[in-house]
Amino acid sequence: MRQCEVYLHNICAGVLTEEDNREYVFTYDKSYLSDEGNPPVSLTLPLREEPYRSPYLFSTFFNMLSEGENRQIQSQLLRIDAEDDFGILLATCQHDTVGAITVKPIV
């Protein structure tokens, strides 16, 4: 199981988990939900207490990943399988992402 904290505008919005069965779970942080001024991380993941589950990496996070040659170069340089979406997300989306979302691996 691998996990990361998901930040929106440098505020911890929740936790994204890749479970051992390759199911993905996103859960909003309770303190994030308690502030009514906080927006959802995406229109496809509206604010709610119940976790979101998917057999695929949620499009919000998948769309943060490089494609094509850039992805191949990243996977070679980082020594991560090019098909390991979650691994590449953890390795490349901690800083300077396009958009307001960043992730921090939980070790």
Question: pTM score, two decimals?
Answer: 0.88
Q: What is the mean pLDDT of residues 80-105?
A: 87
Query: pLDDT band at 94, cuts 50/70/90?
Result: confident
The residues spanned by each domain of the chain are 2-106
Query: pLDDT band at 74, cuts 50/70/90?
Result: confident
Query: Mapping DSSP to helix (H, G, I), strand (E, B) and coil, where does residue 102 land?
Result: strand
> What's the confidence (pLDDT) of residue 107?
79
Share of the chain above pLDDT 70, in %: 100
Rg (CA), the chain: 14
Edge-to-edge strands of the sheet including 52-54? Answer: 52-54, 24-28, 11-18, 2-8, 101-106
Contact 26, 52 (CB under 8 A): yes
DSSP for 32-53, please give it.
HHH-TTPPPSBTTB-S-SSPEE
